[in-house]
Amino acid sequence: MAKINSRSKGQRAERELVKRFSVWWGGEPFFRTPLSGGLATMGHSFKGVEITGDISTPDPNFCFCVEAKHHESWAFEQLFNEKNIIEKWWDQACKQAVSSNKKPLLVFKKNHGPFYAAFIASAIEPQVLIPYNTIKFNGVRSKMTIMLLDDFFSIPKETWL
């Protein structure tokens, strides 16, 4: 069996997300952060845009710091464990969001599976309907809402502005 290059797998997922975010955000250009988010942690700008997270856009109205993960080593059952990789990713997204004054958005998936979005539910206006297949996680260290990325994209972008 061929060895899987996890770096190229992550880059492939980020390229797909760039396209999907651009469609959702009305055709605005999105791009992968150079050095796979490395510049974002150093507080740099690229193409005149302040870099935050793994995916960015020059649109100043985009209010998210996007952290993207494509791993096989997670399961929703891990949320019941004190230490789990999903919360670790969420903590990373939150720290980057705070430093960039944006809202955290964790987007993650497994091979051949759908993308999921984790975000802070209180950022949504009360009249927005949340799909039934949503996980509201209120852990000791973290609070997040998880849903399919497609369901997240069904929430109008104006909700976040």
User: What per-residue confidence (pLDDT) applies to 102?
Assistant: 92
- Asked if the model's pLDDT at residue 18 lies above 60, the reply is yes
β strands within 8-130, DSSP E = 31-32, 45-46, 49-50, 55-56, 64-70, 103-109, 116-119
pLDDT tens digits, one per residue of 136-149: 777 666 788 889 99
- Asked if the model's pLDDT at residue 42 lies above 50, the reply is no
Q: What is the pTM of this model?
A: 0.83
User: What per-residue confidence (pLDDT) applies to 39?
Assistant: 46
pLDDT tens digits, one per residue of 117-139: 999 876 565 555 566 667 777 76
- What are the structure tokens assigned to 93, written together? 């997204």
Angle at 151 between CA 148 and CA 156, to 5 degrees: 140
pLDDT tens digits, one per residue of 51-107: 778 998 989 889 899 999 999 888 888 888 777 888 899 999 999 999 889 999 999
Identify the residue with better confidence: 35 or 98: 98
Burial of 47 (0-12, 13-18, 19+ CB in 10 A): exposed
